[in-house]
Chains A and B, each alone.
Chain A
Amino acid sequence: MNNGLRLLISSLIPSVMAAAGAFLIALLFVVFVRQDPSVAFTALLNGGFVGTQNIANTLMKATPLILTGLAFTIASRAGVFNVGAEGQLYLGAFFSTITALSFSELPGLALIPISILVGAFVGAIWAVFPTYLKLRFNVNEIISTIMLNYVAILFTSYLVNHPFKAKDAQFPATEMIPDQAFLLRLLPPSRLNMGFLIAIALVILLWLLLFKTIWGYDFRHVGQAPYFSSYIGISLPKTMLSAMALSGAIAGIAGAIEVLGVHHRFLDNFSPGFGFTGIIVSLLGKANPIGDLVGGIFLGGLTQGALMMELNASIGRELVDVIKAVLFISLAAVEAYKPIIHLFSDRKVKAQDA
């Protein structure tokens, strides 16, 4: 146990160091614009984590981040990198909206699950497609999922600007979905809703899936040791396809929840990069669903706190984007540390041979 605890702590060190480093660099920025850092950071943290409404808003903002974090986690565990959660989220959100609009005569108890499932299904398809390209034609999934984001975002943008634009809307948005499809608000006036509980449920389910089931065994071993996995007879293509399908489904659910729980209609460009922030969440959470929950709430809190900081300390909320960017760079650097060292020593040998 003592050993287990030590291992856990040592595995968390990179995340904590990255967070501390990010705050330190943010501090330099604050000093640079001649503001009082203590005022800024107090406002930031109070705004995110103190007071019922602030906490409720933090959890509301954390919901899509937890989900996209889970999406990245589940795929990366199986050794595939889904950088396309953003696009999967947009498509999930859009088709979930259309479902809620098309079956408006259904009661909420049926309409809500159906709409969410449609979102999940569309997200899954959008993630399976690049995985198929990877397996069949050896197309790097990082590149293809990134590029498919633009396809999805611009396609839904077209749909909501033209064929599906609400008649009397001043801006690109669909009609409002029927009332019975709204997800219950938990602490009004905050827009925190049932979606957060769905996210928690998914955290638990995915944790069980990853660490307690035979499918999780397949995922983890394919990701960690592909040669071993095919030697014991796990099908790498099947495992990667199902991990990506699951990943895309979760990103689709994130989109559906944003519509059913927060906006109640599909809005053009509604996501401030949830899909990409999910990668940071997953890196922070060490590709563990529980870690994603913590990482999602942390980043949700920063986003919420940034609004308060802007109001109370007159420092732009973009400061939080700086923190996020530094976080991402340092976490990615830690992840990439070993391969880079290898690359370096490889190069050295090659250069010496030449």
Chain B
Amino acid sequence: MHNLAVSMTDICKSYGKFKANDHVSLHVRPGTIHCLVGENGAGKTTLMNILYGLIQKDYGEIKIFGQPANVKNPIDANGYGISMVHQHFKLVPSFTVLENVILGTSKTRGPLLDKQTLEPEILQLCNQFGLEIDLQKVTEDIPVGSQQRVEILKALYRGTEILILDEPTAVLTPQESEQLFITLEALAQSGTAIIFITHKLREVFRISSEITVMRGGRTVGTVFTKDVTDNHIVRMMIGKSISLSFDKKGFTERKVVLSLQKINLASSRSKPILENVSFEIAEGEILGIAGIEGNGQSELVEVISGAQKATSGKTILDGDDVSHFNVRERRNIGVVHIPEDRNKTGVNISASLLENMIANNYFMPDISSYGFISESKASSYTVQICNTYNVKSASVLAPISSLSGGNIQKAIVGRELSMPRRLLLASQPTRGVDIGSIEYIYSKLIEYRNNGLATLLVSSDLAEILTMSDRIAVIYEGKIVSILNAHETNEIELGFLMTGSKEN
């Protein structure tokens, strides 16, 4: 057996000017569990998609067991013995477990599937690796943890030698995760190379023997797990960042605008999405929410904006209980919102700039009368936003899709801040936006903060959170684990809290 199962050297992949992978290298030995860690957007998924043939590299070399490999698509990847368990499973929900496992393999008897001879074969695999699954159950009826075992079983059945798992524990309960680790250890012992993508440092130290850290599209380094501490890894993940500084006006009197009281949000899965979330935001304060994506931030914002009803708990705005208010009622009392998904939620991408700019007040007397929208009023209102917020567009009637991402984002910021406002919900306000627009958006957020606006800033960019916020709440698995003063903390501490490796 060769001493390297996977050897990826100098991999490059760009999207336009953006370098998703910039001379990345990854070497994985057979029979080991190798963790790939890094912040959102560090390039981990891109690298794995290249290995699995879902996207093509621009440059670099891939060797599988010492042989140069040309992986053009997932079928090639399977041929090289590579399998991937995605975050969202690729199973046919209405098939039985057995049918899902053998799907696409060509073991048949005449035109029929040969289930009788296949079943014992698969059962034996299950026993060998401690996978407890009922092969006859319909896939959609079994719990998420079991569905994941089906994915792994599928990979084993295809003779996998290299198994990629993309954040496999994100959907699992702690017990299910532990069971998964036991299976993975058994697999590694039988010689399989396992690449495990995760954000959770606890898991990294629980199972891996080697760790590769990525940041900003580059490999920071590969280390043996036994040689390092979690502190070490957090530093590698976060790195140093440029800090912008702004003049923040101090407020002597603290006047609470938003108060969340024990917000709970249940889900259809066993784990709740939000658990006892409580905090306050005062006038002239930016509260940053730090956390790895998918820990309940999006839902938290939806609960405050009124798009989702909390299972229990109260939302108090300026002293009034608004828990039962819908989106428009909350907007009317001054909740404005920059949503995280610009093109899907922030705008109607198939409508004109004008129609998007009047979205908050087309039904109000400043734009319409007797139900008819006044084109001249709408048009001058749009021009006013574009001028104030520096939005560049050929005309107000141009389709909004003809604007650049930065201009669309500035248009959204302008539309929201042009309304009467008490509380701003800003979700990933600078994601995918050029540097110029980022600085502009930052300066506007600070300007409005200094004028007394209360702001909730959700961002996966720690530098952004640290620069902009007055206080920072760290969210992990739906719980606020800590609320800190922004000037009394740093990226390292936040990194620990976000990855759940320590609690304050």
Q: A212-B372, A231-B339 are in contact. Are A352 and B348 (CB under 8 A)?
A: no
Give Cα A215–Cα B371 distance, bound, in whole angstroms: 7
Question: Measured between C-beta atoms, what is the minimum distance from B163 to chain A in Å?
Answer: 13
* B347 & A228 in contact (Cβ 8 Å cutoff): yes
Interface footprint category on B: 35 or more
* A233 & B326 in contact (Cβ 8 Å cutoff): yes
* B104 & A231 in contact (Cβ 8 Å cutoff): no
From B76, which residue of chain A is reached at the shortest CB distance?
A352
Give Cα A302–Cα B86 distance, bound, in whole angstroms: 54
Q: A212-B372, A215-B371, A233-B326 are in contact. Are A228 and B104 (CB under 8 A)?
A: no
* A354 & B327 in contact (Cβ 8 Å cutoff): no
Q: A214-B368, A231-B337 are in contact. Are A353 and B327 (CB under 8 A)?
A: no
Question: Measured between C-beta atoms, what is the minimum distance from A212 to chain B in Å?
Answer: 6
Instruction: List A contacts of B350 (CB < 8 A).
Output: 224-225
* B362 & A214 in contact (Cβ 8 Å cutoff): yes
* A227 & B345 in contact (Cβ 8 Å cutoff): yes
* A225 & B373 in contact (Cβ 8 Å cutoff): no
Q: A227-B345, A232-B359 are in contact. Are A221 and B327 (CB under 8 A)?
A: no
Pick from B74, B329, B344: contact of A352, CB below 8 A: B74
Pick from B73, B339, B355: contact of A217, CB below 8 A: B355
Q: A230-B307, A232-B327, A232-B359 are in contact. Are A217 and B373 (CB under 8 A)?
A: yes
* B90 & A350 in contact (Cβ 8 Å cutoff): yes
Instruction: List B contacts of A215 (CB < 8 A).
Output: 371
Give Cα A235–Cα B306 distance, bound, in whole angstroms: 12
Pick from A221, A233, A351: contact of B351, CB below 8 A: A221
Question: Measured between C-beta atoms, what is the minimum distance from B414 to chain A in Å?
Answer: 15
Instruction: List B contacts of A217 (CB < 8 A).
Output: 355, 362-363, 373
From A351, which residue of chain B is reached at the shortest CB distance?
B104
Q: A227-B345, A233-B326, A233-B328 are in contact. Are A213 and B360 (CB under 8 A)?
A: no
Instruction: List B contacts of A350 (CB < 8 A).
Output: 90
Which residue among B73, B330, B351 has the maximum number of chain A CB atoms within 10 Å of its CB?
A: B351
Instruction: List A contacts of B345 (CB < 8 A).
Output: 227-228, 231
Question: Measured between C-beta atoms, what is the minimum distance from A24 to chain B in Å?
Answer: 32
* A212 & B373 in contact (Cβ 8 Å cutoff): yes
From B86, which residue of chain A is reached at the shortest CB distance?
A353
Question: Measured between C-beta atoms, what is the minimum distance from B180 to chain A in Å?
Answer: 20
Instruction: List A contacts of B74 (CB < 8 A).
Output: 349, 352-353
From B53, which residue of chain A is reached at the shortest CB distance?
A352
Give Cα A231–Cα B327 distance, bound, in whole angstroms: 7
From B347, which residue of chain A is reached at the shortest CB distance?
A228
Total chain A interface residues with beta-carbon distance under 8 A: 24
B223 within 8 A of A: no
Instruction: List A contacts of B355 (CB < 8 A).
Output: 217, 221
Q: A353-B74, A354-B90 are in contact. Are A228 and B348 (CB under 8 A)?
A: yes
**Cβ < 8 Å to A, chain B residues 307-352:** 307, 326-331, 337, 339, 341, 344-351
**Cβ < 8 Å to B, chain A residues 336-354:** 349-354
Instruction: List A contacts of B368 (CB < 8 A).
Output: 213-214
From A4, which residue of chain B is reached at the shortest CB distance?
B397
Question: Measured between C-beta atoms, what is the minimum distance from A76 to chain B in Å?
Answer: 15
From A213, which residue of chain B is reached at the shortest CB distance?
B371
Give Cα A353–Cα B350 distance, bound, in whole angstroms: 33
B170 within 8 A of A: no
Instruction: List A contacts of B362 (CB < 8 A).
Output: 214, 217
* A228 & B344 in contact (Cβ 8 Å cutoff): yes
Give Cα A354–Cα B86 distance, bound, in whole angstroms: 12
From B332, which residue of chain A is reached at the shortest CB distance?
A233
* A214 & B371 in contact (Cβ 8 Å cutoff): yes
* A225 & B363 in contact (Cβ 8 Å cutoff): no
Instruction: List B contacts of A232 (CB < 8 A).
Output: 327-328, 331, 359-360
Pick from B90, B305, B351, B363: contact of A224, CB below 8 A: B351
Instruction: List A contacts of B330 (CB < 8 A).
Output: 233
**Cβ < 8 Å to B, chain A residues 199-232:** 212-215, 217, 220-221, 224-225, 227-232
Instruction: List B contacts of A349 (CB < 8 A).
Output: 54, 74
Question: Measured between C-beta atoms, what is the minimum distance from A227 to chain B in Å?
Answer: 5
**Cβ < 8 Å to B, chain A residues 298-354:** 349-354
Question: Measured between C-beta atoms, what is the minimum distance from B269 to chain A in Å?
Answer: 20
B118 within 8 A of A: no
B182 within 8 A of A: no
Instruction: List A contacts of B103 (CB < 8 A).
Output: 354
Give Cα A159–Cα B326 distance, bound, in whole angstroms: 45
Question: Measured between C-beta atoms, what is the minimum distance from B94 to chain A in Å?
Answer: 14
Give Cα A229–Cα B360 distance, bound, in whole angstroms: 11
Question: Measured between C-beta atoms, what is the minimum distance from B378 to chain A in Å?
Answer: 10
Give Cα A353–Cα B359 distance, bound, in whole angstroms: 42
* A227 & B344 in contact (Cβ 8 Å cutoff): yes
Give Cα A225–Cα B355 distance, bound, in whole angstroms: 12
* B327 & A230 in contact (Cβ 8 Å cutoff): yes
Q: A225-B349, A350-B90 are in contact. Are A213 and B327 (CB under 8 A)?
A: no
B34-48 interface bits toward A, Cβ cutoff 8 Å, 1 = contact, 0 = none? 000000000000000
Instruction: List B contacts of A214 (CB < 8 A).
Output: 362-363, 368, 371-373
B75 within 8 A of A: yes
Pick from B84, B329, B341: contact of A227, CB below 8 A: B341
* B75 & A352 in contact (Cβ 8 Å cutoff): yes
From B105, which residue of chain A is reached at the shortest CB distance?
A354
Instruction: List A contacts of B327 (CB < 8 A).
Output: 230-233
From A348, which residue of chain B is reached at the shortest CB distance?
B73
From B370, which residue of chain A is reached at the shortest CB distance?
A213
Instruction: List A contacts of B360 (CB < 8 A).
Output: 232
Question: Measured between C-beta atoms, what is the minimum distance from B50 to chain A in Å?
Answer: 15
Question: Measured between C-beta atoms, what is the minimum distance from B153 to chain A in Å?
Answer: 13
Give Cα A353–Cα B90 distance, bound, in whole angstroms: 7
Instruction: List A contacts of B305 (CB < 8 A).
Output: 231
From B101, which residue of chain A is reached at the shortest CB distance?
A354
* A231 & B371 in contact (Cβ 8 Å cutoff): no
Give Cα A231–Cα B308 distance, bound, in whole angstroms: 11
Instruction: List A contacts of B341 (CB < 8 A).
Output: 227
From B349, which residue of chain A is reached at the shortest CB distance?
A225
Give Cα A235–Cα B329 distance, bound, in whole angstroms: 11
Give Cα A344–Cα B338 distance, bound, in whole angstroms: 34
Give Cα A353–Cα B103 distance, bound, in whole angstroms: 10
Give Cα A224–Cα B349 distance, bound, in whole angstroms: 9
* A224 & B348 in contact (Cβ 8 Å cutoff): yes
* B372 & A231 in contact (Cβ 8 Å cutoff): no
Give Cα A224–Cα B103 distance, bound, in whole angstroms: 37
Which residue among A228, A351, A353 has the maximum number of chain B CB atoms within 10 Å of its CB?
A: A353
From A209, which residue of chain B is reached at the shortest CB distance?
B371
Instruction: List B contacts of A220 (CB < 8 A).
Output: 351
Instruction: List A contacts of B326 (CB < 8 A).
Output: 233, 235
Question: Measured between C-beta atoms, what is the minimum distance from A217 to chain B in Å?
Answer: 5
Q: A232-B327, A232-B360 are in contact. Are A352 and B73 (CB under 8 A)?
A: yes
Task: Using CB atoms and an 8 Å cutoff, list the residues of chain B in contact with chain A.
Answer: 54, 73-75, 84, 86, 90, 103-104, 154, 305-307, 326-331, 337, 339, 341, 344-351, 355, 359-360, 362-363, 368, 371-373
Other A-B pairs beyond A213-B372, A217-B373, A354-B103, 6, CB < 8 Å: A224-B350, A227-B344, A228-B347, A230-B327, A232-B359, A350-B90
Can you pick out 12 interface pairs between chain A and chain B where the beta carbons lie within 8 Å of each other? A213-B368, A217-B362, A221-B348, A221-B351, A224-B350, A225-B348, A225-B349, A225-B350, A229-B348, A349-B74, A353-B90, A354-B154
The 6 closest A-B pairs by CB, nearest first: A233-B328, A354-B104, A225-B348, A233-B327, A352-B74, A232-B359
